[in-house]
Amino acid sequence: MDRENEEDIMNWLRAYAEKIYRNLGQYFRWLLFGVVTGVAVGLFASLFSWCLIQVTSFRMGHRYMFLTLPLGGLLIVFTYKAFHFENNGGTDSVIESIHSEITIPFRMALLIFSSTIITILCGGSVGREGAALQIGGSIGKKLGDIFHFNVKDKKIILMSGMAAAFAALFGTPMAAAFFAMEVSSVGIMYYAALVPCICAALIAHKIAFSLGVQTENFHVMNDLELSLIPGLKVVLLAICCAILSILFCMMLQMGEALFKKYFSNLYIRIAAGGLLLILLTLICGSQDYLGTGMPVIEHALSGTAIPWAFFFKMLFTVITISAGYKGGEIVPSLFIGATFGCTLGALLGLPASLGAAVGMIAVFCGVTNCPVTSILIAFELFGFDDAYYFLIAVATSYMLSGYYSLYHSQTIVYSKFENKYVNQPTSHRF
């Protein structure tokens, strides 16, 4: 071998070694920041979860607390005005910051923490994931500032914070990691954030578990093997869930528009919403539609649900969110899907428990447009015994739910119906 060839080989080996060294450096760098994010967010989210448990327990023990909804609402508006954050877009702001230059201030974490506690204490129909995403996103953004990250790296650490908070509160680290990468842009995945998102989610989940944070782990009662007839019934159920998810998104948008039109003053708007929720609760004669509604979801998964429960939960949630109370829409969507699926599944001849589980996952997919997350959350919540039914439901709901979403800032990058780049905002017409 002549000297020139030896030099070429050495240069090639040197360049290859430099690439490996650079890749390893990036890997361990993001692994480190994933751990830091997971620890910081995991501790904060664990405190948030403990507070939620305490206020939920207090409200359940003091059934009159829903009468304080207007007062709690006024306190929320006052707090946001005091911090000059009354125009906060909530979870939409966090999502938009992933693909724009919008900054997420750290005070968002403190405000959404306190306002969600107040909302659930008084009985507002919200979930905790909206707060989780905002808490995780704002803490992640703060860590990015502390470590002097550039704009691109700040977006990655922000997604890691979202994944960590979601994992800590829901106990689904796989779904949490992919949700953070999937939710902002439909049709693409931000795989550059894969290592820190997975690391942060696992660390936060472990911290929350060690601190006693209670997460859900449901059991589906089903003895049906996958075959043509049950599969077609699941398809039909998923089609109905896709339509329901569109209706829910449209109702949220319509409710927001109507409250803004008739109640321009934020104090009057939230007080009016609180009074309306009190009136509806008294008319229904039940407090099942207040708060997160996790007990109702558990009953539905055991095969029992009131046929009209899904509609009332939609109505209560639309009023709560549109009036200005704080929290998330995902847990209510799980409630809606579980109760609707339990009822319709039984009518179709499916086991009611399986129908509830399929309904939960199908509606979740329909309102978030996150099929990978939907499949993973089904596996983590229900196991793998009914995996094929969940796959059928997710695929059907994802396509047929169209371009509607819970989140205004979510972008449809690639078409759901053909191999085509569309890059358009989600639909919010009614």
Q: Residue 9 pLDDT > 80, yes or no?
A: no
Return the pLDDT at 212: 87
Quick one: tokens of 165?
Answer: 């908070």
Nearest to 284 by CA among 62, 83, 123: 123
What is the distance between the alpha carbons of residues 50 and 48, in angstroms, rounded to a whole number? 5
Q: How confident is the model at residue 30 (pLDDT cuts 50, 70, 90)?
A: very high
> H or E segment at 412?
strand 411-414
pLDDT tens track for 49-100: 999 999 999 999 999 999 999 999 999 999 999 988 877 777 887 888 777 7
Burial class (CB in 10 A: 0-12, 13-18, 19+), 23: exposed
pLDDT tens track for 335-388: 999 999 999 999 999 999 999 999 999 999 999 999 999 999 999 999 898 999
pLDDT tens track for 228-254: 999 999 999 999 999 999 999 999 999
Q: How confident is the model at residue 16 (pLDDT cuts 50, 70, 90)?
A: confident
Least confident of 61-75, 84-98, 174-188, 268-282: 84-98
Return the pLDDT at 430: 40
Return the pLDDT at 429: 45
Burial 350-386 (b: 16+ CB within 10 A, else e): bbbbbbbbbbbbbbbbbbbbbbbbbbbbbbbbbeeeb
Three-state DSSP at 175 gives: helix
Return the pLDDT at 131: 83
What domains can be seen in the chain, in order of their start residue?
19-210 (1.10.3080.10), 228-425 (1.10.3080.10)
End-to-end Cα, the chain, rounded Å? 75
What is the distance between the alpha carbons of residues 347 and 355, in angstroms, rounded to a whole number? 10
Please compute the mean of the pLDDT values over residues 162-176 and round it to a whole number.
93
pTM: 0.93
Let me know the angle formed at the C-alpha of 345 by 340 and 349, rounded to the nearest 5 degrees. Answer: 160
217: region left, alpha or beta (phi > 0 left; psi from -120 to 50 alpha):
beta
Top-confidence residue, 285 or 219: 285
> H or E segment at 186?
strand 185-186
The number of helices, as runs of H, and strands, as runs of E, in the chain is 16, 3
Beta pairing partners, 404: 427
What is the distance between the alpha carbons of residues 37 and 144, in angstroms, rounded to a whole number? 10
Least confident of 19-33, 125-139, 366-380: 125-139
- Beta carbons of 222 and 383 less than 8 angstroms apart: no
Q: How confident is the model at residue 1 (pLDDT cuts 50, 70, 90)?
A: low
